Amino acid sequence: MLKVKNIDVFYDKIHAIKDVSFNVSPGEVVTLIGANGAGKTTILKTISKLLEPTNGVVLFEDEPLNKLLPHQLVYLGMAHVPEGRRVFSRMTVKENLEMGAFIRKDKAGLKADYDQVFSYFPRLKERINQPSGTLSGGEQQMLAIGRAMISKPKLLLLDEPSMGLAPLLVKEIFNIVETIKKQGTTILLVEQNANQALQVADRAYVLETGRIINSGDAKVLLEDDSVKRAYLGG
């Protein structure tokens, strides 16, 4: 479904991503784990074309993305929940979801998808007319995920959905990730919370200062000594 081939990404002279390749197959949950500044967000932004790679190519369903404009990716079936939620804070919850549905033309199907988002996150329905800037951090994360899901993506990119949330909410968010997976959406999950991420994921890549240094079955990596030491607190 998604193939990232030998990409290099620079911020001016900073070589943030060095020859990174990986792939995600349909129906999989793949996680990219790594410490602060490893380059996880940079990779997701490159996939979404918010950044351009200097070398290498990203393919979505075997179509190279270099010729496309960034806003066209949603139409292909890609949705990106950015780091830090990035909800439109001056707009209401409803309006944020409407922006998520910006590309949707099928009114009938849309209704069902709103209902589904509200079944994941009943809290959003209660706060439907509230400006989203006044939501709590956890609620904003729910909104950011709901806003992405309303576009009915085939591939969901999630950038640290658990960041800054209380343990109970982290659990709730990961349960939703589980549910989204069961319903057949492919997920690329970026996390610092390696433990939780490896538990929901099928496969994982470990990123360190812009390079992939390890990869494999998520359950195997969960038991891997070097991974344990570096990312799971012993």
Partner 1 sequence: MVLFLQQMINGLSVGSIYALIALGYTMVYGIIRLINFAHGEIMMVGAYIAFILAVNTSLPFILILLISMVLSAVIGVLVERVAYKPLRKAPRISVLITAIGVSFFLQNLALVIFKADPKIMPELIEKKPIAIGPLQVGTVTVTTLALSIVFMIALDLFVKRTKPGKAMRAVSEDKDAAVLMGIHVNKTISLTFAIGSALGALGGVLYGITYTQVFPTLGVLPGLKAFIAAVLGGIGLIPGAVLGGFVIGMIETITKAYLSSQWSDAIVFGLLIIVLIVKPTGILGKNEKEKV
Ligand X SMILES: Nc1ncnc2c1ncn2[C@@H]1O[C@H](COP(=O)(O)OP(=O)(O)OP(=O)(O)O)[C@@H](O)[C@H]1O
- Interface residues with ligand X (CB under 6 A) are 11, 14, 16, 34, 36-42, 83, 192
Q: CB-wise, 42 or 96, nearer to ligand X?
A: 42
Helix (H) or strand (E) holding 108: helix 107-120
Binds 90: which of ligand X, partner 1, Mg ion, none (CB < 5-8 Å by kind): partner 1
By rule CB under 8 A, what count of residues binds partner 1? 27
Helix (H) or strand (E) holding 5: strand 2-11
Q: CB-wise, 11 or 75, nearer to partner 1?
A: 75
Q: Tell me the closest approach of the beta carbon of residue 166 to ligand X, in angstroms.
A: 19
Q: Which residues of 15-32 are buried (b: 16+ CB within 10 A; e: fewer)?
A: ebbbebebebeeebbbbb
The answer to whether 157 and 78 have CB atoms below 8 angstroms apart is yes
Stretch that binds partner 1, among 9-17, 74-82, 195-203, 226-234 (CB under 8 A): 74-82
Q: How many CB atoms lie within 10 A of CB 39?
A: 23
Helix (H) or strand (E) holding 47: helix 40-47
Instruction: Return phi, psi of residue 89, to 5°.
Output: -70, -25
Q: Is 208 a residue that touches Mg ion (CB under 5 A)?
A: no
Residues that bind Mg ion (CB under 5 A): 40-41, 83
Residues that bind partner 1 (CB under 8 A): 48, 50, 69-75, 79-80, 82, 86-91, 95, 98-100, 102-103, 147-148, 151
